[in-house]
């Protein structure tokens, strides 16, 4: 008889990330989030969603919205995520998100939500449409995370407050009833890229920026990228180095560093004595090369509607298996009569 024992399979930690189809994803979304997702998917049990329910907190044109949802799904494949390895789905295809969000609304205080800075920023930006969904957005985000019992959630600085709320809600529910939800931890990547607007470098680059010169979309053609970077706001100092009062150059250095892997000292050294024109041309080249393979793969996926539908259907079924289990657990604890 063999004495050999097989080591028990170590369960991978589960990581969850979402992206809103609220526009065409930008270089900011790519460098700050998407680029890392492929690496994370290789290490963790990855769940990635197109957060369409979140996107309607701001008014969307129906035809454009539909197109953007498919584009973001195709982009998730174009960055190299494998639908057989990771769970890739469209949020609204898994009804448990909306159902759990409603339940969690009743375990969240009005005062807590009122402190959310994103609500304050977005309600100021969309003063004509300060809807309840915008206010309750963090509760839906908590539902997204808690349904999958995610261990880790990659967050940028802008999302930290929302993850804190998700943890508070989960702890509250677990205390009132019994342990139900995994308490998610923030996952802080090595490179915390925060890409700023090319026209207002003290504001983050956003896909819903009404000024297209402020952002580079991941599908922008090379000549458009070159033009946008050429017209990026800088300063009149004329020297390439990272420093105070140099938001525009700091932003371009950050972008260049993310695309080339070079650190700030090396960049400052390489462009010592050269003007902003030469530096901007190098940044534009680096961005074009960084996005080229993504744009090429995207073109293949977006042309194959049947495959996208298949990926979405398989992903939703796989996501629902996990999400429904959590939802039923929650409903049972609250005292609902469960459907047979």
Q: Would you please indicate which residues are annotated as catalytic (active-site) residues?
A: 122, 204, 207
Report the residue number, 153 or 327, with the smaller CB distance to ligand AQP.
153
Radius of gyration of the chain from its Cα atoms, rounded to whole angstroms: 22
Tell me the number of residues near ligand AQP by CB under 6 A.
22
Phi-psi region of 273 (alpha: psi -120 to 50; beta: other; left: phi over 0): left
Distances in whole angstroms, Cα of residue 98 to Cα of each of 52, 101, 150, 174: 11, 5, 17, 20
* Contact flag: residue 29 with ligand AQP (CB under 6 A): yes
* Contact flag: residue 81 with ligand AQP (CB under 6 A): no
* Contact flag: residue 206 with ligand AQP (CB under 6 A): yes
User: Taking the complex as a whole, how short is the minimal distance between the CB of residue 124 and ligand AQP, in angstroms?
Assistant: 13
- Find where tokens 């044109």 sit: 61
Least Cα distance to 214 among 200, 235, 224, 230 occurs for 200
CA–CA separation, 14 vs 301, rounded Å? 26
Q: Which stretch binds ligand AQP (CB under 6 A): 13-21, 92-100, 103-111, 328-336?
A: 13-21
* Contact flag: residue 19 with ligand AQP (CB under 6 A): yes
- The residue within the footprint of ligand AQP, chosen from 15, 16, 22, 136 (CB under 6 A), is 22
Distances in whole angstroms, Cα of residue 92 to Cα of each of 1, 18, 55, 299, 313: 53, 12, 11, 24, 12
CA–CA separation, 153 vs 188, rounded Å? 8
Question: Site mask, ligand AQP, residues 175-204, x = CB under 6 A?
Answer: ------------------xxx--------x
- The residue within the footprint of ligand AQP, chosen from 207, 228, 280, 318 (CB under 6 A), is 207
Q: Residues in the site for ligand AQP, rule: CB under 6 A?
A: 18-20, 22-23, 26, 28-29, 32-33, 51, 156, 158-159, 193-195, 204-208
């Amino acid at each position: 008889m063999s004495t050999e024992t097989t080591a028990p399979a170590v369960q991978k930690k589960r990581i969850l990330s979402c992206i809103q189809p609220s526009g065409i994803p930008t270089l900011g979304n790519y460098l700050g989030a998407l680029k890392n997702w492929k690496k994370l998917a290789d290490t963790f049990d990855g769940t990635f969603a197109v957060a369409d329910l979140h996107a309607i907190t701001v008014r969307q044109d129906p035809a454009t919205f539909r197109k953007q949802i498919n584009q973001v799904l195709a982009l998730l494949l174009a960055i190299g995520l494998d639908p057989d390895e990771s769970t890739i789905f469209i949020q609204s295809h898994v009804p448990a998100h909306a159902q759990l969000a409603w339940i969690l609304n009743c375990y969240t205080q009005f005062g807590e939500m009122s402190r959310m800075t994103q609500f304050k920023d977005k309600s100021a930006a969309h003063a004509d449409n300060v809807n309840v969904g915008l206010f309750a957005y963090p509760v839906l985000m908590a539902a997204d995370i808690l349904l999958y019992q995610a261990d880790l959630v990659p967050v940028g600085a802008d999302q930290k407050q929302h993850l804190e709320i998700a943890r508070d809600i989960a702890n509250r529910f677990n205390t009132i009833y019994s342990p139900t939800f995994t308490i998610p931890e923030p996952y802080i990547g090595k490179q915390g890229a925060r890409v700023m607007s090319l026209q207002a470098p003290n504001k983050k680059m956003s896909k819903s920026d009404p000024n297209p010169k402020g952002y580079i979309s991941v599908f922008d053609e090379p000549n458009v990228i070159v033009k946008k970077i050429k017209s990026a706001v800088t300063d009149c100092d004329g020297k390439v180095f990272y420093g105070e009062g140099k938001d525009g150059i700091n932003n371009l250095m950050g972008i260049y560093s993310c695309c080339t892997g070079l650190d700030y000292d090396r960049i400052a050294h390489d462009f010592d004595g050269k003007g902003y024109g030469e530096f901007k041309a190098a940044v534009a080249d680096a961005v074009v090369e960084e996005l080229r393979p993504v744009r090429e793969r995207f073109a293949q996926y977006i042309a194959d509607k049947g495959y996208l539908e298949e990926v979405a259907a398989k992903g939703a079924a796989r996501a629902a298996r996990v999400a429904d289990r959590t939802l039923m657990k929650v409903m049972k604890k609250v005292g609902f009569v469960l459907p047979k």
